[in-house]
């Protein structure tokens, strides 16, 4: 009899240990993907499934419990370079305004990360996303912000079907970043970007720099987003009607190789490529190394945007840097303008997982950014962003941002084209890398672009 | 109590296996079925509606040439990696069980790469390939040397090399256990009967270690087919998307290009391929197993 009880007890203990073991295992697994959006193909299904496990074990996913409480304002930040500032701001804001602010960051693709949060039923109250995400998310997930005061003070807000959904975080623009000090050290003259707007003048300057001892004055980022989404995209953007052009590429009536703008920009790219410091290993050049060389004046030019400041300022940078339009032999004025506009947008979640109180807290936060000194300071001084609101007059702290603001204030910005298909940058970025590595010529590259567009599905808008 | 009664058996089963079964269903079976359902929809990952599209995603998967290229690439990568991992692991295991001085130190040393996560390992090796090797190459040749990672063949070579480095130590442990499980008396008997040491190895030790081989090959096949983390941090698919493995393509398809249904369908195809290869290998391996 005693034996029997003993055996039963052992059995219960064993199975309890087993169950506890399983739960501990799951608890760890549940917390991880929610917190950092583990780069895993099955992440959303995992997150959905582990919800069940999270209910069973009380210690799993502490942030899951937190996001459900009271007036917690959860903010998703997708700008890695301002995460530290965001966290410091959250602490200060919480103290001053009595609203609990939590800031999250993920290095995942924005859409991928948000989809895991939606799959697990824990959306952020306020999410910072890219323009194209607003178009795909707005109708179902975003709150209509048309009645907010700040709408009248910006030209960059995103509206879909007449309703404003996206709050522009900042203005960003692309062009050729230059190191004026490095140029002056060789030419002896102050560098005036406007003098080198044409490719001929620009090439002559490169030759002068080379003669003066800077053997390779240019750096090229090999990243597919830089080549595909930033440089190649200018081919679509630097024209009257990008939509019509893309549609023509899509139905095959326009071949990219016949396009003047494509050839003009590729002519410039050829000059950049010929002067690339990493010509022999163009596609293994590391971004940090390139930007360090630019910052320290070993090279003088690199195609990029004002976001590159977050990399450059990690090094011993020169005082006088800035962004100029991509030089081209053209008379259409595009070589006097940067390409860019609003970048990164906040939207407020409209689902029933978020309370009206939380939504109000998010609206207050956005107004704080635009209209209160603390918010303006945070955006412009602490994060060194170029504000997208006309009422903010604070001077932009970093030289690249100051350049962009100058062009923006003068109305010399060509708008971003936000409707490229999602796989555009990856597929054509890879084709562009081949061109950069001399594994295909211009005709081959153009052929790949034509082929891509004729089989692409255009984003609806 | 009647131990042959059905109710007794059921309660015994539930007591021991119940929690595990419930959790296994919750974390594996149900998501799998849900995933299967998603392959019949054109869901984009965030939308509230999941429009039913029938077999369209499978049709899209079969006509997605980039996916099939990635799959072929994965098969080639796996073939090389699996063979090399197991050859290296077996030799290492032989080395550290042969009574060489400091063999426990070597065991720990060879195993350590496996303790470093795939992401970190990828970044570490990326640095080695892009900076260290290039610097050495330039010092020797005097000219500029492109990084191995910037050529299509080189990137594949790097992936295989790093996988072998990572997994050989882990598989080594299983082979060590295999070596230790072969009774000394059998080996001794073989030697007394006139076998040379290499004959004893080939005819006695290796056949008795068959279970270790089956296990190691199965583990390395499945891991190589599903490789993602190291692929992401070491090459990120570069140069020109020529080192994108199947799992990475699935991820891109589902999340980056927002074709969730198609990505899910491609994941399922990958699963089926992997399962067929794995099960076939285990079946063939088990058939000829000898008991010691």
- B23 and A23 within 8 Å at the Cβ level: the answer is yes
Per CB-CB distance under 8 Å, the chain B contacts of A41 are 228, 247, 250-251, 254, 263, 267
Per CB-CB distance under 8 Å, the chain B contacts of A439 are 240
Q: Following DSSP, what letter does each residue of A113-127 receive, concatenated? A: HHHHHHHTT---SEE
Q: Closest partner residue to B35 among A22, A45, A136, by Cβ?
A: A45
Residue A142 confidence class, pLDDT cut points 50, 70, 90 = confident
The span from the first CA to the last CA of chain B, in angstroms, equals 39
Mean per-residue pLDDT, A207-230: 89
**In this model, does residue B30 exceed pLDDT 80?**
yes
The pLDDT assigned to A29 comes to: 37
Q: How far apart are CA A286 and CA A278, in angstroms?
A: 10
Q: How far apart are CA A435 and CA B44, in angstroms?
A: 32
* A428-437 burial: b if 16+ Cβ within 10 Å, else e: bbbbbbbbbb
Predicted confidence (pLDDT) per residue in A352-387, tens digit: 888 888 888 888 888 898 898 888 988 888 888 888
Mean pLDDT computed over every residue of chain A: 81
Mean per-residue pLDDT, B19-43: 89
* Residues 214-233 (B) with a CB less than 8 A from some CB of A: 228-229, 232
The pLDDT assigned to A4 comes to: 63
Residue A6 confidence class, pLDDT cut points 50, 70, 90 = low
Is A407 domain-assigned? no
Which class for A427: exposed (0-12), middle (13-18), buried (19 or more C-beta within 10 A)? buried
Indicate if A131 and A228 belong to the same structural domain.
no
Whether residue B34 lies within 8 A of chain A, CB to CB, comes out as: yes
The pLDDT assigned to A48 comes to: 38
Q: Closest partner residue to B239 among A39, A286, A433, by Cβ?
A: A433
* Nearest C-alpha in A relative to B247: A41
Whether residue B84 lies within 8 A of chain A, CB to CB, comes out as: no
Q: In 3D, which of A363, A361, A369 has the Cα closest to residue A347?
A: A363
- B265-271 long-range contacts (CB < 8 A, ≥24 apart) are B265/B39, B265/B57, B265/B58, B265/B60, B265/B61, B266/B61, B266/B64, B266/B67, B267/A41, B267/A42, B267/B35, B268/B35, B268/B36, B268/B39, B269/B61, B269/B71, B270/B71, B270/B225, B270/B226, B270/B246
Is B42 domain-assigned? no
Residue A336 confidence class, pLDDT cut points 50, 70, 90 = confident
Domain that holds residue A204: 173-340+412-455
Indicate if A264 and A130 belong to the same structural domain.
no
Q: How far apart are CA A295 and CA A302, in angstroms?
A: 10
Indicate if A347 and A328 belong to the same structural domain.
no
Name the strand (E) or helix (H) holding A304: strand A301-305
The pLDDT assigned to B6 comes to: 85
* Cβ pair A416, A131 in contact under 8 A: yes
Question: How many domains in chain A?
Answer: 3
* Residues 243-272 (A) with a CB less than 8 A from some CB of B: none
Predicted confidence (pLDDT) per residue in A32-41, tens digit: 333 333 333 3
In chain B, count of helices (H) and strands (E)? 15, 0
Tokens of A309: 């400041």
**In this model, does residue A256 exceed pLDDT 70?**
yes
The pLDDT assigned to A19 comes to: 55
The pLDDT assigned to A311 comes to: 84
* Cβ pair A438, A233 in contact under 8 A: no
Indicate if A419 and A382 belong to the same structural domain.
no
Which class for A146: exposed (0-12), middle (13-18), buried (19 or more C-beta within 10 A)? exposed
Indicate if A386 and A237 belong to the same structural domain.
no
> Which of A183-187, A248-252, B86-90, B154-158 is most confident?
B86-90
Residue, of B48 and A134, whose pLDDT is higher: A134
CATH number at residue A130: 3.40.190.10
Taken in order B103, B108, B109, B111, the sign of the CA dihedral is positive
Is A405 domain-assigned? no
Indicate if A159 and A194 belong to the same structural domain.
no
The pLDDT assigned to A76 comes to: 92
Q: Closest partner residue to B30 among A18, A49, A433, by Cβ?
A: A49
* Cβ pair B213, B233 in contact under 8 A: no
Residue, of A62 and B87, whose pLDDT is higher: B87
Is A460 domain-assigned? no
Residue B77 confidence class, pLDDT cut points 50, 70, 90 = very high
DSSP H helices, A175-301, are 180-187, 199-211, 224, 233-237, 242-251, 260-274, 287-296
Residue A15 confidence class, pLDDT cut points 50, 70, 90 = low
- B23 and A137 within 8 Å at the Cβ level: the answer is no
Which class for A414: exposed (0-12), middle (13-18), buried (19 or more C-beta within 10 A)? buried
**Checking DSSP bridges between strand A163-179 and strand A338-348, what pairing results, if any?**
antiparallel
* Residues 42-71 (A) with a CB less than 8 A from some CB of B: 42, 44-46, 48-50, 52-53
Whether residue B251 lies within 8 A of chain A, CB to CB, comes out as: yes
**In this model, does residue B251 exceed pLDDT 60?**
yes
Q: Closest partner residue to B255 among A12, A111, A427, by Cβ?
A: A111
**In this model, does residue A66 exceed pLDDT 60?**
no
Indicate if A211 and A294 belong to the same structural domain.
yes
Is A276 domain-assigned? yes
The pLDDT assigned to A449 comes to: 92
**In this model, does residue A83 exceed pLDDT 70?**
yes
Q: How many CB atoms lie within 10 A of CB B185?
A: 8
Indicate if A300 and A224 belong to the same structural domain.
yes
Under DSSP, the state recorded for B255 is I
Q: Closest partner residue to A280 among B31, B144, B267, by Cβ?
A: B144
**Cβ contacts of A144 within 8 Å, gap of 6 or more:** A163, A164, A165, A350
CATH number at residue B106: 1.10.3720.10
How many percent of chain B have pLDDT more than 90?
17
Least confident range of A268-277, A451-460, B162-171? A451-460
Indicate if A249 and A283 belong to the same structural domain.
yes
**In this model, does residue A413 exceed pLDDT 50?**
yes
DSSP H helices, A57-160, are 62-66, 83-97, 110-119, 131-141
Mean per-residue pLDDT, B215-230: 88
What's the half-sphere exposure (Cβ side, CA atoms, 13 Å) at A142? 27
3-state secondary structure of A222: coil
* Nearest C-alpha in B relative to A22: B20
Question: How many domains in chain B?
Answer: 1
**In this model, does residue A46 exceed pLDDT 50?**
no
Is B13 domain-assigned? no
Is B15 domain-assigned? no
Tokens of B245: 């493995």
Domain that holds residue B265: 57-287
How many percent of chain A have pLDDT more than 70?
84
* Cβ pair A159, A190 in contact under 8 A: no
Name the strand (E) or helix (H) holding A341: strand A338-348
The pLDDT assigned to A20 comes to: 56
Residue A287 to residues A79, A219, A311, Cα–Cα distance (Å):
17, 9, 9
Least confident range of A6-20, A233-247, A446-460, B124-138? A6-20
Indicate if A252 and A130 belong to the same structural domain.
no
Mean per-residue pLDDT, A169-174: 90
Taken in order B203, B207, B212, B218, the sign of the CA dihedral is positive
**In this model, does residue B104 exceed pLDDT 70?**
yes
Indicate if A298 and A446 belong to the same structural domain.
yes
**In this model, does residue A49 exceed pLDDT 60?**
no
Can you give the length of chain B in residues? 292
Cis-peptide into B84, omega within 30 deg: no
Is B121 domain-assigned? yes
* Cβ pair B69, B237 in contact under 8 A: no
Mean per-residue pLDDT, A409-428: 86
Mean per-residue pLDDT, B23-47: 86
Is B8 domain-assigned? no
The answer to ipTM > 0.95 is: no
Is B27 domain-assigned? no
Residue A30 confidence class, pLDDT cut points 50, 70, 90 = very low
The pLDDT assigned to A57 comes to: 38
Indicate if A349 and A221 belong to the same structural domain.
no
Predicted confidence (pLDDT) per residue in A264-321, tens digit: 999 999 999 998 888 877 887 888 889 999 998 889 899 998 888 888 888 888 888 9
Whether residue A39 lies within 8 A of chain B, CB to CB, comes out as: yes
Angle CA(A131)–CA(A132)–CA(A137) in degrees, nearest 5?
A: 100
Least confident range of A4-8, A190-194, A455-459, B183-187? A4-8
Tokens of A81: 């370079």
- A46 and B27 within 8 Å at the Cβ level: the answer is yes
Tokens of A130: 């890219």
Whether residue A23 lies within 8 A of chain B, CB to CB, comes out as: yes
* Nearest C-alpha in B relative to A427: B241
* Cβ pair A200, A269 in contact under 8 A: no
> Which of A55-59, A63-67, B117-121, B229-233 is most confident?
B229-233
Tokens of A272: 């950049």
Q: In 3D, which of A259, A285, A260 has the Cα closest to residue A272?
A: A285
- What is the crossing angle of helices A199-211 and A180-187, to 10°? 60
């Amino acid at each position: 009899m005693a034996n029997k009880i003993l055996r039963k007890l052992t059995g219960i203990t064993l199975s309890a240990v087993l169950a506890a073991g399983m739960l501990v295992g799951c608890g760890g697994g549940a917390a991880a993907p929610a917190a950092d959006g583990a780069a895993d193909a099955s992440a959303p299904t995992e997150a959905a499934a582990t919800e069940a496990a999270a209910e069973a074990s009380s210690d799993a996913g502490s942030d899951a419990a937190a996001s459900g409480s009271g007036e917690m304002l959860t903010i998703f930040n997708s700008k890695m370079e301002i995460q530290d500032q965001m966290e410091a701001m959250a602490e200060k804001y919480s103290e001053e305004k009595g609203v609990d602010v939590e800031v999250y960051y993920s290095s995942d693709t924005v859409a991928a990360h948000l989809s895991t949060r939606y799959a697990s039923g824990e959306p952020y109250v306020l999410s910072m996303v890219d323009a194209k995400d607003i178009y795909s998310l707005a109708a179902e997930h975003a709150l209509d912000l048309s009645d907010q005061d700040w709408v009248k003070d910006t030209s960059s807000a995103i509206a879909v079907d007449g309703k404003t959904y996206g709050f522009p975080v900042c203005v960003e623009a692309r062009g050729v970043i230059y190191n004026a000090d490095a140029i002056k050290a060789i030419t002896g003259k102050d560098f005036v970007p406007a003098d080198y707007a044409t490719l001929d003048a620009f090439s002559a300057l490169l030759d002068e720099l080379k003669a003066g001892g800077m053997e390779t004055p240019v750096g090229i980022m090999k990243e597919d987003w830089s080549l595909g989404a930033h440089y190649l995209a200018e081919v679509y953007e630097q024209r009257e009607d990008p939509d019509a052009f893309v549609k023509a590429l899509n139905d095959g009536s326009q071949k990219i190789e016949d396009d003047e703008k494509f050839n003009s920009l590729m002519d410039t790219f050829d000059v950049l490529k010929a002067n690339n410091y990493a010509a022999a290993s163009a596609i293994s050049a590391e971004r940090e190394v390139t930007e360090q060389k630019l910052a320290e004046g070993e090279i003088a030019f690199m195609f990029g945007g004002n976001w590159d400041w977050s990399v450059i300022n990690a090094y011993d940078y020169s005082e006088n840097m800035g962004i100029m339009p991509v030089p081209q032999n053209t008379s259409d004025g595009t070589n006097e303008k940067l390409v860019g506009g609003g970048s990164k947008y906040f939207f407020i979640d409209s689902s029933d997982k978020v309370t009206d109180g939380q939504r109000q807290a998010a609206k207050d936060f956005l107004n704080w950014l635009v209209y209160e000194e603390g918010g303006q300071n945070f955006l412009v001084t602490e994060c060194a962003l170029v504000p997208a609101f006309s009422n903010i007059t604070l001077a932009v702290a970093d030289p690249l941002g100051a350049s962009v603001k100058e062009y923006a204030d003068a109305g010399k910005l060509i708008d971003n084209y936000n409707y490229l298909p999602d796989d555009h940058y990856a597929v054509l970025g890879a084709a562009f890398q081949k061109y950069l590595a001399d594994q295909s010529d211009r005709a081959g590259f153009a052929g790949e672009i034509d082929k891509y567009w004729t089989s692409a599905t255009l984003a609806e808008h | 109590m009647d131990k042959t009664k059905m109710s007794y058996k059921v309660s015994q089963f539930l007591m021991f296996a119940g929690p595990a079964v419930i959790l296994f269903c919750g974390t594996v079976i149900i998501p799998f079925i849900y995933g299967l359902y998603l392959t019949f929809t054109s869901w984009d990952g965030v939308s509230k509606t999941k429009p039913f599209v029938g077999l369209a995603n499978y049709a899209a998967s079969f006509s997605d040439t980039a996916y099939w290229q990635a799959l072929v690439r994965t098969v080639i990568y796996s073939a090389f990696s699996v063979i090399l991992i197991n050859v290296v692991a077996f030799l290492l295991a032989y080395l550290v069980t042969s009574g060489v001085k400091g063999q426990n130190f070597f065991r720990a040393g060879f195993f350590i790469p496996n303790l470093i996560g795939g992401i970190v390992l990828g970044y570490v090796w990326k640095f080695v390939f892009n900076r260290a090797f290039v610097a050495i190459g330039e010092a020797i040749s005097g000219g500029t040397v492109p990084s191995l990672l910037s050529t299509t063949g080189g990137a594949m070579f790097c992936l295989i090399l790093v996988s072998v480095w990572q997994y050989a130590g882990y598989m080594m442990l299983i082979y060590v256990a295999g070596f230790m499980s072969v009774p000394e008396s059998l080996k001794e008997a073989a030697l007394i009967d006139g076998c040379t040491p290499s004959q004893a190895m080939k005819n006695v030790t290796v056949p008795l270690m068959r279970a270790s081989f089956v296990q190691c090959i199965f583990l390395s096949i499945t891991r190589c087919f599903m490789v993602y983390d190291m692929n992401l941090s070491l090459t990120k698919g570069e140069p020109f998307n020529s080192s994108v493995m199947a799992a990475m393509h699935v991820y891109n398809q589902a999340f980056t290009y927002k074709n969730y249904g198609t990505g899910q369908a491609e994941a399922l195809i990958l699963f089926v391929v992997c399962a067929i290869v794995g099960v076939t290998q285990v079946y063939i391996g088990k058939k000829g197993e000898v008991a010691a």
